[in-house]
Amino acid sequence: MRIIFLILLLLLLSPVAAVFASGQLESETYAEVKGPNGGKIFEQDGFAIEVTVFESGVPPEMRLFAYQDNQLLDPGLVTVTVKLDRLGGVQDNLIFLAERDYLVSNQEVVEPHSFDVTIEAQFNNQSYRWRYENHEGRAEISDRLLKLSGIKTELVEPQQLTFSDTLFGVISIPDDKLFRLHAPYPGLVKNIHVQTGDRITKGQRLATLQNTQTLQTYYLQSPTDGEVTKVLVNIGDKSEESALLEVTDLSEVWVDLSAFPENIERLAIGQKVELYDLHHHKRVESSISYIAPKMTGGHIARARAVVKNTDGHWRPGMHIKADIEIEKKQVPMAVKTSALQSFRDMSVVFARYGNTFEVRMLELGQSDGKYIEVLAGIVPGTEYVTENSFLLKADVLKDGASHDH
């Protein structure tokens, strides 16, 4: 008796029993059976509906084929409505029109094709109703695992995108910060008080000289705070017309940027510039202070920014990169570029609804590198995953990412 009871219980709980129970006009589950057109078949008392989504050369549309005792029916004899309940409380109500040998939905079935489906059909004065789940790109994570995963979220909101051009450049010494010191009178160098590399202050004695005509001794003093970059004479040398020492003030340096024709058209005096060395060890902000009026022989234009250099990081001759702000654009919706994942060759983000996460296929616009404009595929205010979304993608893909309707 116990064996018979278990068999009866299994039959009552099985999908087949739910679909074919005598006199039952509504089925909450169904046995997964493929129809002649590759769709899901729902059958009751000899009447069946085959559900397909057609998306070859047209926006995705739902097509339904009706059968009576395995024979294809004239679609004009059947009335069908379909409700698609999506995460976030969104419901699509599809109405169908007869076309050729099938019924076609009056609106596009937008991505993702992930929803709870309710089918209501009328044929020959009889009503039928089926419900089933069609989920894709969806993952559920417990509170404990969610905390361990490090997943972070933000809301889809308006953003101001900042577009920039990246140029290469070289640190150079400003023209007015390089001093070549000469003796005012012919004479002899009696003493040199500094060496190359010494830090000096304005007015500091750098050399002692003797005027050969008057035999008077005088001092060569520094015209600025800075550094001795060259000592060009020795004790006992004559002070002729050539320079004796070179002093450089590197508290500010120039950044000479190379701009190609397509860049120079977008440059303007006053544009913001973010400068950084090639190792990304330091970043500073400045602005374009000069644009050369003519191109070089290599069809390159020179632009310039000035940078404070109190710590000496920016050394003349150092190669750098510069991001120049050329445009700002306010967009109604944007997501972080770091949030994007690829799902069925489409760019997606994972929207969050409590502990459930689901892909949202996005139509994208311009990007400034940090954020990217969203034209369609998600609604403002949606919470989406910005960090560690790859974990959700892995969870979705472990069960297969087939696009099955």
User: 349: which strand partners?
Assistant: 360
Kindly state whether residues 63 and 121 are assigned to the same domain: yes
Q: How many domains does the chain have?
A: 4
Closest CA to 139 of 114, 168, 110: 114
Residue 288 falls inside a structural domain: yes
Rounded CA separation 185/213 (Å): 9
Query: What CATH number does the domain containing 361 carry?
Result: 2.40.420.20
Handedness of CA 248, 250, 254, 256 (dihedral sign): positive
Closest CA to 108 of 401, 361, 372: 361
Residue 402 falls inside a structural domain: no
Tell me: pLDDT of 10 over 50: no
* Overall size of the chain counted in residues: 405
Kindly state whether residues 323 and 256 are assigned to the same domain: yes
Kindly state whether residues 74 and 103 are assigned to the same domain: yes
Q: Please, what is the average pLDDT of the chain? A: 89
Tell me: pLDDT of 395 over 90: no
Kindly state whether residues 217 and 318 are assigned to the same domain: no
Name the residue with higher pLDDT: 184 or 14. 184
Share of the chain above pLDDT 90, in %: 76
pLDDT of residue 401: 52
Residue 76 falls inside a structural domain: yes
Query: What CATH number does the domain containing 11 carry?
Result: 2.60.40
Tell me if the pTM is above 0.85: no
Domain boundary residue, one of 248, 274, 304: 248
pLDDT digits (tens, 9 = 90+) for 136-180: 999 999 889 888 888 999 999 999 999 999 999 999 999 999 999
Kindly state whether residues 376 and 352 are assigned to the same domain: yes
Closest CA to 389 of 339, 354, 334: 339
Residue 271 falls inside a structural domain: yes
pLDDT of residue 185: 92
Query: What CATH number does the domain containing 218 carry?
Result: 2.40.50.100
Domain boundary residue, one of 186, 218, 248: 248
Tell me: pLDDT of 21 over 70: no
Residue 348 falls inside a structural domain: yes
Kindly state whether residues 115 and 87 are assigned to the same domain: yes
pLDDT of residue 187: 93
Tell me: pLDDT of 33 over 90: no
Domain range for 266: 164-172+251-328
Q: Token pair of 403, please?
A: 């696009």
Tell me: pLDDT of 25 over 90: no
Kindly state whether residues 339 and 284 are assigned to the same domain: no
Kindly state whether residues 277 and 216 are assigned to the same domain: no
- Three-state SS across 30-77? CCCCECCCCCEEEEECCEEEEEEEECCCCCCEEEEEEEECCEECCHHH
Query: What CATH number does the domain containing 322 carry?
Result: 2.40.30.170
The dihedral over CA atoms of 236, 241, 244, 246, expressed in degrees to the nearest 10, equals -170
Kindly state whether residues 277 and 343 are assigned to the same domain: no
Kindly state whether residues 235 and 341 are assigned to the same domain: no
Residue 403 falls inside a structural domain: no
Residue 222's pLDDT band, with cuts at 50, 70 and 90, is very high
Domain boundary residue, one of 302, 328, 354: 328
Tell me: pLDDT of 211 over 80: yes
The DSSP element (H or E) to which 83 belongs, if any, is strand 79-85
Rounded CA separation 311/100 (Å): 78
Rounded CA separation 190/199 (Å): 21
Kindly state whether residues 308 and 366 are assigned to the same domain: no
Kindly state whether residues 268 and 383 are assigned to the same domain: no
Residue 230 falls inside a structural domain: yes
Residue 405 falls inside a structural domain: no
User: 211: which strand partners?
Assistant: 187
How many CB atoms are closer than 10 A to CB 391? Answer: 19
